[in-house]
Chains A and B, each alone.
Chain A
Amino acid sequence: DTAVSQTPKYLVTQMGNDKSIKCEQNLGHDTMYWYKQDSKKFLKIMFSYNNKELIINETVPNRFSPKSPDKAHLNLHINSLELGDSAVYFCASSQDARTDTQYFGPGTRLTVL
């Protein structure tokens, strides 16, 4: 009974390619997030959606585009991948935008060659 799931778990691709990462939560939460964790384990928020609406959009290149088809899903599409995009991407969810307890998915390890 995975609460927050992500696919794929690993993604290895060439520079310049376009890729997507999918996230689903079965907790009934209203708010979902995308985080990037770099090689030094620094975890930084990229986007947040509340009930399919974008509420946090950090300074992230336009090549990153989140999409939330419904409140249980938040996908991340990345265009023209660059070497610096290599990281672990975590999806998370919380009850609502005012609840601080966030539940994280297992992460997607992206390697750009």
Chain B
Amino acid sequence: QKEVEQDPGPLSVPEGAIVSLNCTYSNSAFQYFMWYRQYSRKGPELLMYTYSSGNKEDGRFTAQVDKSSKYISLFIRDSQPSDSATYLCASPSSTGKLIFGQGTTLQVKP
């Protein structure tokens, strides 16, 4: 079992839709969680960073962590074609390594 799991998709939505991207993790020691966005043929870039349960909002993006169920979510409101990318969740392990999920590929159609 991978320590961080994501449904790879692809997920296709119409422009303006609310998108929900999800991850589960197995390691109870994980304390911090990140979402990286990776455009095609580019490197990942940090989108959001959370370190506690609850919600964190940044513009159209909301990151949610539920440590009791080991579930991480990223919501995108009013999705745009420019949001089309692969979204990777990640958490640093106790040894300092960033453990990534497989990534979910999102396509927002105009």
Contact = CB atoms under 8 A, between A and B. Distances in A.
Interface string B9-34: 00000000000000000000000101
A106 B45 CA distance: 10
B103 A56 contact: no
B96 A107 contact: no
A107 B42 contact: yes
A4 B45 CA distance: 12
Contact of B96 (A40, A92, A98, A104): A98
A10 B23 CA distance: 31
Q: How large is the interface on A (under 10, 10 to 19, 20 to 34, 35 or more residues)?
A: 20 to 34
Interface of B: 8, 32, 34, 38, 41-46, 49, 86, 88, 92, 95-98, 100, 102-103, 105
Given A41-B38, A105-B43, 5 more contacts: A41-B103, A42-B100, A43-B44, A56-B97, A104-B43
Interface of A: 4, 40-45, 48, 55-56, 58, 90, 92, 97-98, 100-107
